[in-house]
Amino acid sequence: MRALRLLKLLYVQVLLAAVAGVVVGLIWPETGEAMRPLGDAFIRVIKMIIAPVVFCTVAIGIAHMSDLKKFGRVGGKTLLYFEVVSTAALAIGLLVGNIVRPGAGFNIDVASLDPNIAAQYTKGGPDTAGSFTDHVVNIIPDTLISPFVTGDLLQVLFVAILTGFACSRLGSFGTQVAHALESATKVLFSIIHIIVWAAPIGAFGAMAFTIGRYGVASLQPLAFLITTFYLTSLFFVFMVLGGIARAAGFSIFKFIRYFRDELFIVLGTSSSEPVLPALLEKLQKLGASRSVVGLVIPTGYSFNLDGTNIYMTLAILFLAQATNTELTFWQQMEILAIAMLTSKGASGVSGAGFITLAATLTIVPTIPIVSLAVLVGIDRFMSQCRALTNAIGNGVAALVVARWENELDRAQLARELERGPETIAGESDIEPELRPVRAPAE
């Protein structure tokens, strides 16, 4: 009976499906590769719903604020937190790379590597060479509708913020519009609860493809780098984020247990994007206000990628050491400064961290860009750890900023974390938080 109850839990189903995917990929590699559409389809169907969920959540949250000063204060604190923690992640990756030196002794012959492998990633990378002004201008979409077509979260956020402020200025009519968005949000979350039951199928397909395509044998030559990265990420989660969580009044261990369903989905799909809607919902259950969660989480998916930051500096040092490229202290500081900018172009999509790494190396000509070919075979395995660290980091950030703003119900947080998670597929029990929107002073 206990076994049957366990099988009903989503995270158990995802874990078993991932194990089954590994087995299929090992025994029947060609069949495993053919399973890729299952993983891709699950991620695509989740991405389909992300833009409208983020739009509704953020717009309603801004309508709740009814205060431009409060929005600026919350946004400022959010960006400050992101910059400090993200820089810490970059610095830790740099420090570990210098101490452990995972690439020392590889003595890679750059001339023997295929330059076409690296070229395909540098072409697909973000336009990191543009100025800061270019990046800001690109946040503005071509039309009001285009962000929902492209899925660009920063552009969706921009439109949602404008909509939220418009609602706050329209008095009773703005309240009616916000209530309509509230109703739409309930429908969207109900859709997510239906879709998420396909998570085991998506995890099976993704793992079967990864093992079938690359094989466990591909891990052996670079096992030391993979181990170093995983251990560094664990240190960051439990020591750095754990210390931040403790200062904010909650346990990182209970936090991880509460989001175990989502984290197993991230592990299976190698992407943090499929769990974005669930993070929005469950963080509100933990007592964080809708307005803070709606602003912090979508922004964090572009500006607070802790796992990606650790990976970038650690991988850059690995490639430098593996190709016997000497980097001075000031060159490493330059890499740190560049990575602080380029890492903001990554997203929660699987493989985006590798593309951002490629874009960073194009700006740092000291390290041969062709050396990226060494990491291609293991990147899929690294992306799982990146995505897990990113998801945990953004969840912690939302609770910390909510506590900072005195918009965190600490009693509810303690009660929910102690009780533990309910199944992700249960119907949403978040009560409408919409308050009357004040008419603007004429």
pLDDT tens digits along 348-357: 444 566 667 7
Confidence of residue 103 (pLDDT cuts 50, 70, 90): confident
CATH C-level class of 2-67+75-419: mainly alpha
Dihedral angle sign, alpha carbons of residues 393, 190, 61, 403: negative
Query: Which tokens go with 352?
Result: 């985006």
Q: How many CB atoms lie within 10 A of CB 102?
A: 22
Structure tokens at 401: 């900023």
Q: Greater confidence, 17 or 121?
A: 17
**Residues 162-220: pLDDT tens digits?**
888 888 888 788 888 888 888 888 888 888 888 878 888 888 888 888 788 777 776 77
Report d(CA 263, CA 271) in Å as an integer.
10
**pLDDT computed for residue 428 by the predictor:** 43
CA distance 1 to 105: 54
What average pLDDT score do residues 4-19 get?
Answer: 78
Q: What's the pLDDT band for 283 if we cut at 50, 70, 90?
A: very high
The residues pairing with 127 across neighbouring beta strands, listed in sequence order, are none
- Specify the pLDDT at position 433: 47
78 contacts 401 by C-beta, under 8 angstroms: yes
Predicted pLDDT at 437: 42
pLDDT value, residue 429 = 45
Report domain extents, the chain. Answer: 2-67+75-419
Closest CA to 48 of 164, 166, 148: 148
The answer to whether 230 and 382 are in contact (CB under 8 A) is: no
Is the pLDDT assigned to residue 293 strictly greater than 80?
Answer: yes
Residue 439 in this model has a pLDDT that exceeds 50: no
Instruction: Say what the pLDDT of residue 416 is.
Output: 92
**pLDDT reading at 396 higher than 60:** yes
Confidence of residue 440 (pLDDT cuts 50, 70, 90): very low
pLDDT at residue 215 in the model: 75
Q: What pLDDT, on the 0 to 100 scale, is given for residue 124?
A: 46
Q: For position 228, what pLDDT does the model report? A: 94
The residues with which 408 forms a beta bridge, in sequence order, are: 288
pLDDT above 50: residue 436? no
How far apart are the C-alpha atoms of 83 and 90, rounded to whole Å? 10
Average pLDDT over residues 76-91: 90
pLDDT at 119: 59
Please tell me the pTM assigned to this model: 0.77
Per-residue pLDDT, 271: 78
